[in-house]
């Protein structure tokens, strides 16, 4: 059980690192949106709308896919957490019953 918890603790640390990367990428996307807003006339003058639209869709699709994968893993970990808590509660109940049984015998 402890090994299982350590394994998932290590993976959650990895997810924290990925979260930081996600925040950095969010900054990149916000910067890109700011550039689109401020330099739209320049982009139109050079006919780059199509290129920016394709690039934006590719980034959005990759971002959406990565987010869904992380959510799936976090839901899985929450399920594991609940299973571990259920096992702990069951063991506490068993100890409680043993203590009551031993108390009645004395």
Spell out the domain ranges in the chain: 2-105
Alpha-carbon gap, residue 96 to 90, rounded angstroms? 10
Alpha-carbon gap, residue 81 to 8, rounded angstroms? 9
pLDDT (0 to 100) of residue 96: 92
pLDDT (0 to 100) of residue 6: 80
pLDDT (0 to 100) of residue 69: 86
**What tens-digit pLDDT sequence spans the chain (106 residues)?**
678 778 778 888 888 888 888 888 888 888 888 888 888 888 889 888 888 889 888 888 888 898 888 888 888 888 888 888 888 899 999 999 999 888 877 6
pLDDT (0 to 100) of residue 94: 93
pLDDT (0 to 100) of residue 1: 66
At 35, list the tokens: 């550039």
Backbone angles phi, psi at 53, to 5 degrees: -65, -45
């Amino acid at each position: 059980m402890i090994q299982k918890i350590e394994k998932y603790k290590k993976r959650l640390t990895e997810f924290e690192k990925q979260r930081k990367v996600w925040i950095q990428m969010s900054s990149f996307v916000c910067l890109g949106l700011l550039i689109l807003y401020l330099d739209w006339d320049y982009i139109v003058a050079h006919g780059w709308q199509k290129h920016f639209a394709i690039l934006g869709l590719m980034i959005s699709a990759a971002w959406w896919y990565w987010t869904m994968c992380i959510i799936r893993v976090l839901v899985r970990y929450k399920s594991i957490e609940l299973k571990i808590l259920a096992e702990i509660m069951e063991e506490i109940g068993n100890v409680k019953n043993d203590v009551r049984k031993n108390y009645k015998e004395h």
